[in-house]
Chain A
Amino acid sequence: MKEAQKIFSRPRSLRNISTHYCGGCGHGIAHRLVAEIVDELGIRERVIAVAPVGCAVIAYDYWDFDCSEAAHGRALAVATGIKRVRPQNIVFTYQGDGDLAAIGTSETIHAANRGENVTVIFINNAIYGMTGGQMAPTTLLGQRTATTPAGRQIGVHGAPLKISEMLALLPAVKYIERVSLHSPQEVLKAKSAIKRAFQSQIDNLGFSMVEVLSACPTYWDMPPKKALDWIRDVMSKEFPLGRIK
């Protein structure tokens, strides 16, 4: 009999340590996908990540390649600086919805509008995880959070912000896709989308972003599998999956 081959294991670019994330948190899957893609594209020596403020604040401890850290919401300003000074590097930001679409909305829109040739991994979990489950711009109508105990109401808190659709209107934005991590099949599709976004940067096409619907079982107050079902049945109806631009 042929000797058994390893067909799935930890990517080289993901350090062999435990993360601080809660059980069932989507950040762990998203980190692994990025690490697998960096390995597959052979860019571990060229890539520079910009980590956010949010639960993923210490992503630089988990990825085994060069990383920077940005003040809350400012990842795309930092990424702009790095990419302009070092255009030979592959530069990406990894940001939550509070980081990218609340405090960092201005940096996000202007970096996209300038067509900075960087890639954004936008983790939409419809909540502020790190600070204790407050409403995010992407929180769904009716969703209960620490700051919307009776559920988000459109007349009081506004509607869920569709950053991906908004950015797609800008001429310098070249690639936007929304994916989800609610099943192994969707995780594999998410990986293909993230790889296309990195490839778009490698081909010098301009701004690219992948929005990733990701579970926060802790502050959605759901067991991990139920949180994934909620993405499939509820969240992805508000945030439809697929190529946006």
Chain B
Amino acid sequence: MAKVKIDIEKCKGCFLCVSFCPKRLIKPDSKLNRRGVRPAKMEIDSQCLGCAMCAVICPDCCIEIYK
């Protein structure tokens, strides 16, 4: 099982990770970060494939993956 860690304070809310996760596990958070944007949030941790598509497309290098 893989684990995704998102640095929500660096996140700019572009949601490219949301669009490219093949299992659609990441969603926009309901709370704002300090930048005033809704950051990305891992919703269904238990199904993560560890494929790193979210991290590869993230322009702000916010995503770390452990497997």
Whole-angstrom distance between the Cβ of A91 and the nearest chain B Cβ:
24
Whole-angstrom distance between the Cβ of A179 and the nearest chain B Cβ:
14
B55 within 8 A of A: yes
B44 within 8 A of A: no
Chain B, interface size: which category? 20 to 34
A27 touches B55 (CB 8 A): no
**Given A26-B59, A183-B57, residue A8 in contact with residue B64 (CB < 8 A):** yes
Cβ-neighbour of A183 out of B20, B58, B63 (below 8 A): B20
A184 touches B12 (CB 8 A): no
Cβ-neighbour of A23 out of B14, B52, B55 (below 8 A): B14
B61 touches A32 (CB 8 A): yes
Query: Which A residue sits closest to B37, measured CB to CB?
Result: A23
A188 within 8 A of B: yes
B residues 53-67 touching A (CB-CB < 8 Å): 53, 55-61, 63-67
Whole-angstrom distance between the Cβ of B33 and the nearest chain A Cβ:
11
Cβ-neighbour of B16 out of A32, A188, A225 (below 8 A): A225
A131 within 8 A of B: no
Whole-angstrom distance between the Cβ of B52 and the nearest chain A Cβ:
5
B13 touches A5 (CB 8 A): no
Q: Which residues of A contact B53 (CB under 8 A)?
A: 184
Number of A-B contacts (CB under 8 A): 72
Contact with A along B1-44 (1 / 0, CB 8 A): 01100000110111110011000000000000000010000000
A88 within 8 A of B: no
A153 within 8 A of B: no
B16 touches A224 (CB 8 A): yes
A103 within 8 A of B: no
Beyond contacts A6-B65, A24-B14, A217-B14: 10 other A-B pairs, Cβ-Cβ < 8 A, are A4-B2, A7-B66, A8-B65, A10-B64, A23-B59, A25-B59, A29-B57, A183-B20, A184-B52, A225-B19
Interface residues of A (CB under 8 A from B): 4-10, 14, 18-19, 21-29, 32, 183-184, 187-188, 217, 224-225, 228
Interface residues of B (CB under 8 A from A): 2-3, 9-10, 12-16, 19-20, 37, 50, 52-53, 55-61, 63-67
